[in-house]
Structure 1
């Protein structure tokens, strides 16, 4: 970065830091601190967190249409199963993590308490996704993560490229419609995709935990002030492409994604990345303002399960209420809603009673789709 940061840039940096700690900050204490020279385990998530518990697990890779090589873990059967997996007869489930974490987050708790292994033990063919930029998904067919070009994306690209690549691969391998579980950012990119009619033909149902669609009532006041104060396009102001909060969370994302979230706070609507200059937006979208993700376009007969918490500082009750209001025309028998009064954002991943309160409800929701 050259020169001194202006006041607007400093405000933005404050927001980015605050938002990063708010999104999944409670998870940080569950990861060991890494030295500057340390790296991710070479054997991958399967070896470190699945196989050691007695489950079969496959490390796979999927390449997106824009060249990013994503890591994908498949858990084809439960621990008690013997012989062949019979996975081709099972219902596939894709599990998508949130912001500044990766698929390993789902496996923090023991095998009796984490969602992927609970699903596997209940007869599902489980696929854990890892978005671009995270430890096991830092490869590209031509770009290097050390270059700004690699990080020139926001969560729009997760909607347009990452999710479709994973869905296409899982569908090609199983030949069956897919159940989906997302947490935090994993719900945002799913909702945005569904609103554009994407993935829905391959989708059986979707469970959204701590859903993120609107951020206007985020409880972190300073973060809201910072987001609303930011004006300008990130690469020209900061000259930074990778957002890597070392010492806070173990995973990197693009700074452009953080700015995109800031824009969601500031504008109060869900839209594609705003380049802040009409000519730039015109070049990218053919319009002077970025297109809106219209969530009311989500098919009304798509089975949805939404679970949110009363103590969630990011997925605020009022913002979830706005989402539910937009879904008011959804078929009544296709929308299930769960409110957990004492749950905060990270409890949906690492809560000691998440199995009993949330995961059992997810299982019941999936099973109802067979009725």
Structure 2
């Protein structure tokens, strides 16, 4: 009886707190309560939803902005270059439309004449389905890491974008894990490069051995214990979006300016403390959509990269490694095998998750210099500035547009 009362209190207290605080909260932006397609529509842009099935049975949802808001009706069906935007860890397609139209990549590229596709990795808010597995009942649904994302999700999504657009190749822009998985895919399947005209890597990740901030602290003190826990008990959902979390965000971060600032400061402890070009008032909106969910295997895999360095495939323990990889230790991804893809790197020394030292030890050292067409160091950018910065359109997106414009002449 005492345990039941304790459980009831555990559930009811947060709900009671939400109800009480809701009486005093200030209003939040409209996008707080909208999903990605609704956000796109709310700004007057066209949007399409496309669903695909990966080779291993996961159902992924793609969001498309086929043309810009002010495109003349006579030009709607004109062919236009395809750009594919891929989010990072625990994120979603929302990240590319999270700010005002002149600041958000999805809108900026659409208005510049692109056919814009927004991907969603397996396990997030929009890709939480499988042909036979139930994410709430079947642990096997969550038994994957970013290895499988690179192997199955990227070709399925990019294949769909090319099929619908009727084109043979596209421009790929990845952020964070959206870059790591593409580097992994291109290194293990060099033939995939024929689908990528140019590859723009924002806050690129090759490894995270030298990550700083809260992630570094957690990795040093709890990383190995977490890996052992996942190996022992299996993978599960990690930080899935929930109604309760959204309410807590709304009635804490969105309550007063002081709490809004506190939520912003806490966020920066993970990604870097540079705070210029950062719209603090949007924090409740960002956190209403992020984290968007993933597998705990992915976090364990990142912990392994932090602990051991390099870019290993997921370490499942000697027994499983021998069965899957044919060796006791997981193989390392080798980026020297990437061929025939022009690559542009956008990075910052103030980024705590994509550090200069990690880039020097992996991407800068392994990528063929002839493939790296540009390496742009952006000053005073933390990790999230590359998707949420108020001036990222000028610093990054318009540079990409200018680079692509040369191809279109």
User: TM-score, with normalisation over the residues of structure 2?
Assistant: 0.75
Counting only pairs closer than 5 Å after superposition, residues 319-358 of structure 1 correspond to structure 2 as 319-327=358-366, 329-331=368-370, 334-358=372-396
Q: Deviations over 1:271-323 (max 9, x none)?
A: 2111122x211111222222221001111x41111101121111111112223
Matched, 1:72 2:62: yes
Shift of 1:238: 4.4
Task: Work out the CA distance in 2 between the residues paired with 1:53 and 1:159.
Answer: 32
Q: Map of 1:132-171 to 2, 5 A cutoff?
A: 132-146=122-136, 147-171=138-162
Q: How many residues matched?
A: 331
**Contact 2:36/2:97 (8 A) holds in 1:** no
Q: What does 1:146-295 correspond to in 2, within 5 Å?
A: 146=136, 147-173=138-164, 174-196=166-188, 197=190, 199-220=192-213, 221-226=216-221, 229-230=224-225, 233-244=228-239, 247=245, 249-277=290-318, 279-295=319-335
| Post-superposition CA distance 1:80-128 (Å, at most 9, x none) | 1122665562111110001111111111101111001111111111000
Are the equivalent residues in 2 in contact too, given 1:144–1:150 (CA < 8 A)?
yes
More helix by share: 2
TM-score (norm 1): 0.83
Residues 232 and 328 of structure 1, relative CA distance in 2, 3 Å threshold: closer
Cα distance between partner residues in 1 of 2:323 and 2:29: 42
Structure 2 CA distance for partners of 1:113 and 1:55, relative to 1, 3 Å: same
| Separation in structure 1 between the aligned mates of residue 171 and residue 47 of structure 2, nearest angstrom | 19
1:363 matched residue in structure 2: 401
Given that residues 227 and 303 in structure 2 are in contact (C-alpha distance below 8 angstroms), is that contact kept between their aligned partners in structure 1?
no
CA contact (8 A) 1:76 1:85 kept: no
Structure 2, unmatched stretches of 5+, are: 1-27, 246-286
Question: Could you list the runs of 4 or more consecutive aligned residues of structure 1 that deviate by over 6 angstroms after TM superposition?
Answer: 30-34
Instruction: Give how far 1:223 is off.
Output: 3.1
Which residue in 1 is equivalent to 2:256?
Answer: none
Maintained 8 Å contact 1:179/1:204: yes
* Larger radius of gyration between Structure 1 and Structure 2: 2
Partners of 1:234 and 1:189 in 2: CA distance: 24
Question: How big is the shift at 1:222?
Answer: 1.6
CA distance in 1, matches of 2:29, 2:224: 33
